[in-house]
Structure formats: structure tokens, C-alpha cells
């Protein structure tokens, strides 16, 4: 007799989604996490009176989150309250020039027309194609386990329009697709920035991802109270259904007998039995550390070793006692497309800090939600890029502090944003801290690369081909990183489990 | 027949090489990035 019907390792969004659905379907489920809070990357950090998000900063493709709550017989709005975000992005270029894209397609067209009338016409075509690609392709693959050739083929046969909107862009890069539509440098770079949301430069990200630049125009929101309200909302429903959450519990091993999973072993030696283990931990960590080289076949080990990780994105959290000179929830500090590509090849691959080449996303969630900071104060998250082990120094030996100073100085010199005056608190989550806190190898916050060769059936399978009873969810599985995709992976993994055990 | 095959191969290789040099640097990088990973795909498929 097992202790539990299912053990979920990792309370990130994928793990929480799987746990809540399994518990709701009658499986006695235990949810374990090594942190002191649920959410994984979608968590929070409290520094003094300021509350910061530690991962994603906005939510799109809301239907996926609604689907989880519907699947467990609930309404999302009873657990999470959305705040609409509009404009979706602000931009600051090297000359300190500000502009922003509103949610509305027409409004964005007007902004683009100020740069180029030709690009404004191209925007109409791009938005039309993006809307179709989203509806007929992305929304469908989001919650489907495309983990085998036959599974992928079944999805495509059922949805023939999907090929029309994905196939032509599979063998083109993100940059090729966008430059095929837009010509003005400012317009192209404002759209290309999004390739780094999957941790790849524009010239290496797959072309179909280019429609990300449209998807936000379908509407983006921020959860009232912070991004961690999403995992907390799902967790609340899980506990209401009788699920058990055990935090501060590090799983060191997945236990197996023959080709079957038998449970997990915690760091303190405690063993918990179950014939089903669902992990929300990065697949490289699962196979290389929790199972280990000796317990997986050579060919699978070779596959696991071959997965490459995305570029790390250090996050700087700042609490200030006055409103910064920013108007949008998200502000991109602009960079040219050549610069965006160059930082991958000349800095990340060469382990060199980006210096003046760095560009970043500034998130100011307190502009949308005043509950995150004391009255009149604000919170800012600066997401920039760097290698994991820079030749310039060690993150744990002084580099963290120097990085903070350098980035603040760069913001002032290059983008005309003085964030140092009125600074009350500052903290850096560098790649090493990311790795320790979220178990992302080499601090790659976007997880495994998300190019064509790391997608669908070439990404770690949601159902292990090695051990019966082992399932995977989260950013290292199909469809990849982001709030909606990771929740989608939890839905897809649960569907696979129900087919096997339902 | 054999020499016709050889000629066909030569023409195909020459056409591919000519095509390659007409591509811009960003496109070449994309293709090289994917091509480098092709040998790993059979292993990845079984993870």
C-alpha cells in the first residue's frame, strides 16, 4: 500500500496544475517543494515593505488559466483577480526617446505609422496573420502533449489549419519573419526584443515565435497582489480538495524498482512511496541528479546531456520612494537587432559580461497594483542578460554588487533613467541564485532552449519513456517557459495520466 | 550512367553552395544552429 496515489515534486505552475487536477479527480496527492513558498519561478520576494515578483511579470493567453479552474469545478475569478494592462509596452531608445504600444491593434498601427507608413500597413497584415496563428495553432498546441511523432501528427490531422500558420515559419528565424514584414529599425527592434522571452537571440529563435509580438494585443493582465497570486490561487483549490502541501522538503532521489517508479527520497532520508511521481523540476535535474546516470539508459543520457540551456537573465529588484520616470507596466530599454544578436555570440557564448551592450526589460508592477509598495513608493524589476560564469568574476564573490552598480549606471548614461536617487532597497537575483532557488541548471531562467530542435517531441517527454509512473511538467517540457505554457503542460500531463490510470 | 550521376551530384552541390552564399548572415546562423543539433535529435526523441 503506497503512502500516496501521486507525488508531485515541485510546486511550480505545472506541478500545481497537475496536483490540483489529480486531487480533484480522486487521487490522494502530495505536493513537495524545496522552497518555503509555492510558485517556483512565479513566486515573490518580500524586502522590507516592498513585494517583488521573482519570475514572470504579466499574463497572457488567459484561457489556459481559466481551463485549470474549470477542470477542477471552480471559477478562476473566485481565486485570482486580474488587472488589465494597457499600454502593453513602453520603449526607451538610446536617445532617451519614449513611445509605447497600446493593446488596440489600431492604436499600435498609429504608433508604427509615426516611424513608417509602409510598416503600419505591414502591421495590419502581421496582426491579421498573428490572430489566425494564435487561434488556429498556438491555442491548440498549448495544452496538447506533442511528445511523440504520432501524437503530433494526430493534433495536426485534427487541426489542419495549424500547418498553414506554423509550417511556413518553422524553417525561418524570428528575425527573418519580422524583417519580412517590417523595415524601420525602431519598429523591428521593438518587436524582436521578444525573442529573448524564450532566451534566444532574434536570429536563432524559431520564426513561429514571432507571433508573440502580436499575442499580447489579445490582452494582458497582472494578478492583483502579485504574480504569486496565481500559484497561491491554484494551491488554495488543491488544499480545499484535501491535497497535502509539504514545503521546505528537498527531494534528492526518485525511487525506482525495475522499470517502475516507487516514490521519492527526501534530503533527510525520509522515503515516501507512490507508484506515480510527477516532477515539475527541470528535466536535466530530474534525469541527471534525481535518477542519475546509472539508472537511465546510455542513449537517453546522451539525449539529456545534449539539451542546451537558454541565456541567464539576472533580475535586479529596486524599491524607490517616488514614482520613476516611466508610464508603463513594462518598459523595454531598446537595442538594435545587431546588438541583440551580438550579445549571444560575442558575450554569452564567450562568457563575457555584456557591459554597455546590455538592454533590458523594466517592470514596474506597482504602477498597476499599488498594494506592492507603501503609498507613493514603487517597485521595479530590471531583467537584463549575462553569462553564468563570466570571466570578469564570481557572482558570489563581489560580482553581484558590481553588476548592480554597473546596470544602474548604464540606465542613467544610456537610457536617461536615473533609478539611484530615492532608492530604498535593492537586491540582485543573479544566475547562481536562480540556479539554487529554482533548480534551473546554469541559472537559465528560461530553462532549456526553445528552438526547433528543443521543441515538441524533441523536448523531454511529459511521460517518461524510461520509467512507468514517471511524468514531467513545467518549462522544460512542451511547450516551454511562460505562465500559460507551463500551466498548459500541467493540463497535458494530467490528460496523459488519466489515459493511463483513469 | 555513372558519369551522369556524378555530374548531377556536382551540379547539386554547386547549386547548394551558390544558394548558401546568397543567404544573409542571420539566416546562415539559424541554419547552422539547427544543423549542429541534428545528430542529437534521435537521442532527444527518446527522453
Q: pLDDT digits over A137-188, tens only?
A: 888 888 888 888 898 888 888 888 888 888 888 889 999 999 999 999 989 9
Residue A151 belongs to a domain: no
Do A327 and A290 belong together in one domain? no
Q: How far A350 CA lies from chain B's nearest CA (Å)? A: 16
Q: What is the largest CA-CA distance in chain A?
A: 69
Indicate the number of domains in chain A.
Answer: 3
Q: Are A292 and A406 in contact (CB under 8 A)?
A: no
Chain A residues in contact with B30 (beta carbon < 8 A) = 172-173, 175-176, 203-204
Q: A476: which residues sit within 8 A by CB, 6+ positions away?
A: A282, A283, A284, A307, A447, A448, A459, A460
Do A272 and A343 belong together in one domain? no
Among A218, A233, A256, identify where a domain stops. Answer: A218
Helix (H, G, I), strand (E, B) or coil at A90: strand
CB contact under 8 A, A306 and B29: no
pLDDT of residue A35: 96
Q: How far A248 CA lies from chain B's nearest CA (Å)? A: 29
Chain B residues in contact with A188 (beta carbon < 8 A) = none
Residue A449 belongs to a domain: no
Do A325 and A272 belong together in one domain? no
Q: How far B30 CA lies from chain A's nearest CA (Å)? A: 5
Do A74 and A122 belong together in one domain? no
* Identity of the residue in A175, A283, A452 whose CB atom sits nearest the CB atom of B34: A452
Report the share of chain A in percent with pLDDT over 70.
Answer: 100
Distance CA A157, CA A136 (A): 13
Residue A153 belongs to a domain: no
Q: pLDDT digits over A311-332, tens only?
A: 999 999 999 999 998 999 999 9
pLDDT of residue A344: 93
Q: Are A243 and A3 in contact (CB under 8 A)?
A: no
Distance CA A400, CA A410 (A): 15
CATH code at A15?
3.50.50.60
What is the interface pTM, i.e. ipTM, of the complex?
0.90
pLDDT of residue A392: 95
CB contact under 8 A, B45 and A304: no
pLDDT at A95 over 80: no
pLDDT at A78 over 80: yes
CB contact under 8 A, A204 and B30: yes
Nearest residue of A to residue B41, measured between CA atoms: A458
Name the average pLDDT for chain A. Answer: 93
Do A183 and A241 belong together in one domain? no
Q: Containing domain of residue A69, as a range?
A: 6-43+54-80+225-307+460-501
Do A97 and A201 belong together in one domain? yes
Residue A454 belongs to a domain: no
Cell of A162: 495549424
Residue A445 belongs to a domain: no
Residue A446 belongs to a domain: no
Any CB–CB contact under 8 A between A199 and chain B?
A: no
Chain B residues in contact with A153 (beta carbon < 8 A) = none
Report the share of chain A in percent with pLDDT over 90.
Answer: 78
Q: A389: which residues sit within 8 A by CB, 6+ positions away?
A: A351
Amino acid at each position: 500500500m503506497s503512502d500516496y496515489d501521486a507525488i508531485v515534486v515541485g510546486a511550480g505552475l505545472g506541478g500545481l496544475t497537475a496536483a490540483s487536477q489529480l486531487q480533484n479527480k480522486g487521487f490522494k496527492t502530495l505536493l513537495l517543494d524545496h522552497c518555503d513558498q509555492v510558485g517556483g519561478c512565479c513566486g515573490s520576494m518580500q524586502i522590507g515593505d516592498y513585494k517583488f515578483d521573482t519570475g514572470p511579470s504579466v499574463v497572457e493567453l488567459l484561457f489556459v488559466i481559466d481551463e485549470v479552474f474549470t477542470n477542477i469545478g471552480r471559477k478562476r475569478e473566485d481565486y485570482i483577480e486580474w488587472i488589465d494592462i494597457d499600454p502593453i509596452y513602453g520603449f526607451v531608445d538610446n536617445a532617451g526617446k519614449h513611445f509605447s504600444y497600446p493593446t488596440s491593434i489600431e492604436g499600435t498601427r498609429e504608433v508604427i505609422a509615426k516611424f513608417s507608413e509602409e510598416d503600419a500597413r505591414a502591421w495590419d497584415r502581421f496582426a491579421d496573420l498573428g490572430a489566425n496563428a494564435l487561434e488556429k495553432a498556438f491555442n491548440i498546441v498549448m495544452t496538447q502533449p506533442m511528445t511523440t511523432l504520432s501524437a503530433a501528427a494526430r493534433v495536426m490531422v485534427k487541426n489542419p489549419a495549424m500547418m498553414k500558420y506554423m509550417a511556413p515559419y518553422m524553417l525561418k528565424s524570428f528575425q527573418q519573419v519580422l524583417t519580412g514584414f517590417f523595415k524601420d529599425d525602431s519598429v523591428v527592434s521593438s518587436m524582436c526584443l521578444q525573442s529573448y522571452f524564450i532566451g534566444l537571440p532574434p536570429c536563432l529563435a524559431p520564426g513561429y515565435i514571432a507571433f508573440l509580438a502580436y499575442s499580447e494585443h489579445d490582452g494582458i493582465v497582472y494578478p492583483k497582489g502579485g504574480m504569486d497570486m496565481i500559484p497561491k490561487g491554484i494551491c488554495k483549490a488543491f488544499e480545499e480538495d484535501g491535497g497535502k502541501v509539504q514545503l521546505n522538503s528537498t527531494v534528492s532521489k526518485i525511487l525506482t524498482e525495475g522499470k517502475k517508479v516507487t516514490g521519492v527520497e527526501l534530503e533527510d532520508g525520509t522515503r515516501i512511496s507512490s507508484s506515480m511521481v510527477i516532477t515539475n523540476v527541470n528535466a536535466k535535474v530530474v534525469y541527471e541528479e534525481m535518477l542519475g546516470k546509472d539508472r537511465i539508459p546510455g542513449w537517453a543520457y546522451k539525449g539529456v546531456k545534449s539539451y542546451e540551456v537558454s541565456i541567464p537573465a539576472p533580475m535586479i529588484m529596486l524599491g524607490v520612494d517616488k514614482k520613476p520616470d516611466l508610464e508603463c507596466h513594462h518598459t523595454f530599454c531598446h537595442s538594435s537587432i545587431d546588438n541583440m544578436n551580438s550579445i549571444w555570440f560575442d558575450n554569452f557564448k564567450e562568457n563575457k559580461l555584456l557591459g554597455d551592450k546590455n538592454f533590458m526589460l523594466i517592470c514596474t508592477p506597482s504602477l498597476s497594483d499599488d498594494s506592492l509598495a507603501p503609498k507613493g513608493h514603487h517597485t521595479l524589476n530590471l531583467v537584463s542578460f549575462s553569462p553564468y560564469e563570466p570571466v570578469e568574476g564570481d557572482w558570489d564573490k563581489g560580482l553581484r554588487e558590481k553588476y548592480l552598480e554597473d546596470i544602474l549606471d548604464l540606465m542613467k548614461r544610456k537610457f536617461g533613467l536615473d533609478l539611484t536617487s530615492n532608492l530604498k532597497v535593492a537586491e540582485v537575483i543573479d544566475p547562481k541564485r536562480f540556479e539554487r532557488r529554482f533548480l534551473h541548471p546554469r541559472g537559465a531562467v528560461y530553462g532549456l532552449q526553445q528552438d526547433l530542435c528543443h521543441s515538441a517531441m524533441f523536448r523531454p517527454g511529459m511521460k517518461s519513456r524510461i520509467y512507468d509512473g514517471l511524468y514531467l511538467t513545467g518549462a522544460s517540457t512542451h511547450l516551454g517557459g511562460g505562465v500559460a505554457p507551463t500551466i498548459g503542460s500541467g493540463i497535458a500531463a494530467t490528460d496523459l495520466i488519466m489515459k493511463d490510470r483513469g | 550512367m555513372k558519369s551522369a550521376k556524378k555530374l548531377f551530384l556536382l551540379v547539386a552541390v554547386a547549386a547548394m553552395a551558390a544558394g548558401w552564399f546568397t543567404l544573409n548572415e542571420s539566416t546562415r546562423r539559424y541554419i547552422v544552429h539547427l544543423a549542429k543539433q541534428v545528430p542529437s535529435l534521435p537521442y532527444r526523441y527518446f527522453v
